Amino acid sequence: MAKAKRVLKWQRDPEGMRLRILEAAKQEFAAHGLAGARVDRIAAKAGANKRMLYYHVGKKDDLYLAVLEGAYEKIRVEERALDLEHLDPPEAIERLISFTWNYFIRNPEFLALLNSENLARARHLKRSTKVKSMHSPFVEMIRTVVTRGVESGDFQVAVDPVQLYISIAALCFFYLSNSATLSVIFGRDLLKKEAKDERLDHMVALVLAALTGKSAAAFGKRVPKPRAAAHQPV
């Protein structure tokens, strides 16, 4: 009887327990990578034990893949809520860039997980049966925006939506993931609010200039404050 009660206690809210395990695992994998992550730390943070963890999610590799899939699902769900289909094409692209930039800033764990999985050559992601299906609707959403932009005359070229998104993500990702070294090299604090605002304006102007054929200056919002000359890298 006592054993049955103990089982019922930790199985009473299986989905809640699973979500707590995944959140604790996300933090652990982001901080330590797959190799450095410890299942006992994940279980402790989730208020569970190893038996519960294996019951709800699986072994360490299964847990890592579940975290990756959850991370991709979260950003794709939020992207679908942007309502890009009902915006003028240039505004839709600007909203997508702004969202991607701010999402990366709000979710540094996502960038850390991407770094880890790329170092592993996507070995775990290749096992996923979910990730590709998550991305297809998102790609079609961008394709629709670009097509509408060409038809309306706002855009000059019907760029590949996959290439467009990779370019947007790269402009955001590289700046943030390398901000420490770049700040030292160029003598700027690239994570100050003013610097991040300037970066977002620059990215929007750059992408819209490429799509519309206009000068990037046509999309600038702020005039950067003059800076003292910084030492340039050798």
pLDDT over 90 at 171, yes or no: yes
Say how many CA atoms lie within 13 Å of 218 toward its Cβ. Answer: 10
Q: What pLDDT score was predicted for residue 15?
A: 82
Phi, psi of 48 (to 5 degrees): -125, -170
CB distance 69 to 40 below 8 Å: no
Amino acid, single-letter form, for residue 73: E
Say how many CA atoms lie within 13 Å of 78 toward its Cβ. Answer: 15
CA 141 to chain centre: 17
pLDDT tens digit string along 39-73? 999 999 999 888 888 887 888 999 999 999 999 99
CB distance 116 to 182 below 8 Å: no
pLDDT tens digit string along 74-126? 999 999 999 998 999 999 999 999 999 999 999 999 999 999 999 999 999 99
Average pLDDT, the chain: 88
Q: What pLDDT score was predicted for residue 11?
A: 57
